[in-house]
């Protein structure tokens, strides 16, 4: 997810564009840039870093122009760098393009264009759009733009400039949002309303496979399918700026939980990268998942999954691993680091300790180009998009799906899983998106949280692959509502913690439809006999999750527990996005 912006009107475009990018920074923040039409043609000041850092280095107040496009990046193709920052141009620098989305056939298009003599500067998919416009341009900018769009497969929101047509910005949308803010003698273009809400609430919202022309005083939009001119409705946007920044949700965390269905399917985009890691670990004697916090819970899930599929695997907390297990590693071992940020100091240190012992290292991360991706032998991405809230939610879903896919690929490669079973599991992984959406649509988690808002002690119980779910559910509650909660292996309760059970305690018991369900039921009876309250999570339980393969139940069961923690935090008047004492990325040991 990236943020794109455009402006045409009487103000100084470079300044307006950086103001707009700042309000879109939550959509991506590893590099930023603008393209504006000055006296000497198109200028493209851009750089690596957050919007404020790039702005300080470029001083837009000193630049002059009244039309331009801008971009703040969340890298998907090509590491964060100045050369990969948007906007991008064609060979001649006559056309400039900023893009949000993924052009799935960009390599094929790039090969064709290179064969026709085009030379590329960046590693991005976006750059092919500028060269396609150049290829088709014969005097009509809009026609060349439409032809270029016709070649693209994938998702895009695009703004395009040309020195031959200095009064217009071309726009197009397919699966990535794009709005046009309608001003007086000026118009704004953006991925999201926060970029221009302070200037105007009147907007046109493009739909998929629509494109158009925006000038200071006019707009015109067309259907890419039919070429026909469209009569687009002018909408009045009702959100406040802050609400718009969070897509209408009160907090980023709630927005990101509601992005968990997409996170599940986006993780499957990493299939090729995960298969490459699978090829490397197939000859290893043992696989170690290493991570911290929520990411560690994903690693623990990976351990259970690999073992359930007949493979040897371990999961370790990074800050422990580096001082203990790392000493026993050798070249027959594989260490797989899991990290949303790719910058967690303990995890980085654990990988360094593994490398020092000759182990193979890989990472499963969300941030392209992060430190772990530069340190490990191989990288795979969860493609979860920017996660702003300190509490990790959608990135955890991405990690679980990635780890599940890696485990299934490994089991298939080691002949522990036949092709048919692999495909059955893979098909269900593709359905997880709908299952999560079903959970979000069908549970009254807020009401449940209201009934528990004053409870002082929570236990989360799970068995086998749902033991990590119990740990994650408890962590989420602790870190954003400051209430004591413990994740526990259900079978362990009678070995001590049962002494804590009384009417002041609430227990959330994760019990999917599997052969251990009866065991959890007997744990629940022991708990209820001591007066504690029990909330069950499972098929047709207090918190309902749809039926799926038992090995995928943790991907579903955690969704309502994320929401439960969110609502308890909000009911206590806390800010779930910025919990006390915590940071989004712990870059200190
Ligand atoms: C998760 O909600 C926490 N914010 C924290 O435990 C986090 O998962 C941990 O610090 C690891 O971060 P990483 O995934 O960026 O490595």
If you take atom 4 of ligand 1, which residue's CA is the nearest one?
Answer: 391
How confident is the model over 193-236, as pLDDT tens digits? 889 998 999 999 999 999 999 999 999 999 999 999 999 999 88
Instruction: Name the pTM for this structure.
Output: 0.81
Distance CA 578, CA 390 (A): 6
If you take atom 3 of ligand 1, which residue's CA is the nearest one?
Answer: 391
What are the residue numbers of the active site?
2, 584
Distance 437 CA to ligand 1 centre (A): 24
Per the CB < 8 A criterion, the answer to whether 390 and 584 are in contact is yes
Per the CB < 8 A criterion, the answer to whether 343 and 337 are in contact is no
Residue 149 is predicted with a pLDDT of: 98
Distance 316 CA to ligand 1 centre (A): 14
**Which mutation among 340, 367, 481 tests ligand 1's pocket best, with the greatest number of atoms within 8 A of CB?**
340
Q: Strand 210-214 and strand 202-205: pairing?
A: unpaired
Q: Compute CA 113 distance to the chain's CA centroid, rounded to the nearest angstrom.
A: 31
Distance CA 172, CA 158 (A): 5
Please give all residues whose beta carbon lies within 6 A of any atom in ligand 1, as ranges: 292-295, 339-341, 344, 347, 390-392, 479, 585-586
Residue 482 is predicted with a pLDDT of: 97
Residue 367 is predicted with a pLDDT of: 85
Distance CA 379, CA 572 (A): 40
Distance 444 CA to ligand 1 centre (A): 27
Nearest-Å Rg of the Cα atoms of the chain is 25
Residue 99 is predicted with a pLDDT of: 96
Distance 192 CA to ligand 1 centre (A): 27
If you take atom 8 of ligand 1, which residue's CA is the nearest one?
Answer: 294
Residue 269 is predicted with a pLDDT of: 93
Domain ranges of the chain: 2-241, 260-571
If you take atom 9 of ligand 1, which residue's CA is the nearest one?
Answer: 293
Q: Which CATH superfamily is domain 260-571 in?
A: Glucose-6-phosphate isomerase like protein; domain 1 (3.40.50.10490)
How confident is the model over 561-570, as pLDDT tens digits? 999 999 999 9
User: One digit per residue, pLDDT tens: the chain, 589 residues?
Assistant: 789 999 999 999 999 999 999 998 888 888 999 999 998 999 999 999 999 999 999 889 999 999 999 999 988 888 889 999 999 999 999 999 999 989 999 999 999 999 999 999 999 999 999 999 999 999 999 999 999 999 999 999 999 999 999 999 999 999 888 999 999 999 999 998 889 998 999 999 999 999 999 999 999 999 999 999 999 999 888 777 776 778 788 999 999 999 999 999 999 999 999 999 999 999 999 999 999 999 999 999 999 999 999 999 999 999 999 999 999 999 999 999 999 999 999 999 999 999 999 999 999 999 887 889 989 999 999 999 888 899 999 999 999 999 999 999 999 999 999 999 999 999 999 999 999 999 999 889 999 999 999 999 999 999 999 999 999 999 999 999 999 999 999 999 999 999 999 999 999 999 998 999 999 999 999 999 999 999 999 999 999 999 999 999 999 999 999 999 999 999 999 999 989 888 888 877 7
List, in order, residues 6 or more apart from 267 with CB less than 8 Å away: 382, 383, 384, 397, 398, 399, 401, 402, 405
Distance CA 194, CA 190 (A): 8
Residue 63 is predicted with a pLDDT of: 93
Nearest atom within ligand 1 for CA of residue 390? 4
* Backbone φ, ψ for residue 134 (5° rounding): -60, -40
Nearest atom within ligand 1 for CA of residue 391? 2
Distance 586 CA to ligand 1 centre (A): 7
**Which mutation among 342, 348, 384, 392 tests ligand 1's pocket best, with the greatest number of atoms within 8 A of CB?**
392
Distance CA 576, CA 568 (A): 9
Per the CB < 8 A criterion, the answer to whether 5 and 21 are in contact is yes
* Domain 2-241: which CATH number of 1.10.510.10, 2.120.10.30, 3.40.50.880, 3.60.20.10: 3.60.20.10
Residue 157 is predicted with a pLDDT of: 95
Distance 300 CA to ligand 1 centre (A): 14
Specify the length of the chain in residues. 589
**Other CB atoms within 10 A of residue 43 CB:** 18
Distance CA 76, CA 52 (A): 21
Local structure of 290: helix, strand or coil:
strand
Nearest atom within ligand 1 for CA of residue 365? 14
């Amino acid at each position: 997810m990236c943020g794109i912006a455009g402006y045409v009107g009487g103000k100084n475009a470079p300044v307006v564009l950086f103001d707009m990018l700042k309000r879109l920074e939550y959509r991506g923040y590893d590099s930023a840039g603008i393209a504006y039409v000055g006296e000497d043609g198109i200028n493209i000041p851009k750089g690596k870093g957050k919007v404020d850092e790039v702005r300080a280095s470029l001083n837009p107040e000193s630049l002059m122009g009244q039309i331009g496009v801008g971009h703040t990046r969340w890298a998907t193709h090509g590491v964060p760098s100045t050369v990969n920052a948007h906007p991008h141009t064609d060979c001649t620098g006559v056309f400039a393009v900023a893009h949000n989305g993924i052009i799935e056939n960009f390599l094929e298009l790039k090969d064709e264009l290179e064969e026709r003599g085009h030379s590329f500067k960046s590693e991005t998919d976006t750059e092919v759009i500028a060269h396609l416009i150049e290829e088709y341009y014969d005097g009509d900018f809009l026609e060349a733009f439409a032809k270029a769009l016709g070649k693209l497969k994938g998702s895009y929101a695009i703004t395009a400039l040309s020195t031959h047509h200095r009064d217009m910005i071309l726009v197009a949308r397919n699966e990535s949002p794009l709005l046009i803010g309608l001003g007086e003698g000026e118009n704004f273009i953006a991925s999201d309303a926060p970029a221009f809400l302070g200037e105007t609430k009147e907007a046109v919202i493009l739909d998929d496979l629509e494109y158009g022309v925006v000038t200071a005083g006019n707009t015109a939009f067309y259907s890419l399918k039919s070429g026909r001119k469209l009569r687009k409705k002018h909408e009045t946007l009702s959100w406040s700026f802050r609400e718009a920044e969070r897509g209408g949700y009160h907090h980023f965390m709630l927005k990101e939980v509601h992005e968990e269905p997409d996170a599940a399917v986006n993780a499957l985009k990493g299939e090729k990268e995960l298969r490459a890691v699978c090829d490397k670990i197939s000859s290893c004697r043992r696989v170690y998942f290493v991570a911290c916090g929520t990411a560690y819970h994903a690693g623990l899930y990976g351990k259970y999954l690999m073992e359930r599929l007949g493979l040897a695997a371990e999961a370790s907390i990074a800050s422990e691993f580096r001082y203990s297990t790392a000493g026993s590693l050798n070249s027959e071992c594989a260490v797989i680091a899991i990290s949303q940020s790719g910058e967690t100091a303990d995890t980085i240190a654990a990988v360094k300790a593994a490398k020092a012992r000759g182990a193979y290292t890989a990472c499963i991360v969300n941030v392209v180009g992060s430190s772990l991706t530069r340190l490990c032998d191989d990288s795979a991405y969860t493609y979860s998009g920017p996660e702003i809230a300190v509490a990790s939610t959608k990135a955890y879903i991405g990690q679980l799906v990635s780890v599940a896919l890696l485990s299934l690929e490994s089991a298939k490669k080691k002949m522990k899983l036949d092709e048919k079973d692999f495909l059955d599991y893979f098909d269900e992984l593709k359905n997880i998106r709908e299952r999560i959406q079903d959970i979000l649509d069908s549970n009254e988690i807020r009401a449940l949280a209201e009934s528990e808002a004053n409870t002082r002690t929570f236990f989360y119980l799970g068995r086998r692959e749902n033991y990590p779910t119990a740990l994650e559910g408890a962590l989420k509650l602790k870190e954003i509502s400051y209430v004591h909660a413990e994740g526990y292996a259900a079978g362990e309760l009678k070995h001590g913690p049962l002494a804590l059970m009384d009417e002041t305690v609430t227990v959330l018991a994760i019990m999917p439809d599997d052969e251990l369900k009866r065991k959890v039921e007997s744990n629940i009876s022991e708990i209820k006999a001591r007066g504690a309250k029990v909330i069950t999570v499972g098929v047709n339980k207090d918190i309902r999750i749809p039926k799926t393969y038992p090995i995928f139940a943790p991907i579903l069961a955690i969704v309502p527990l994320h929401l439960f923690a969110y609502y308890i935090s909000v009911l206590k008047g806390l800010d779930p996005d910025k919990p006390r004492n915590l940071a989004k990325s712990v870059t200190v040991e």
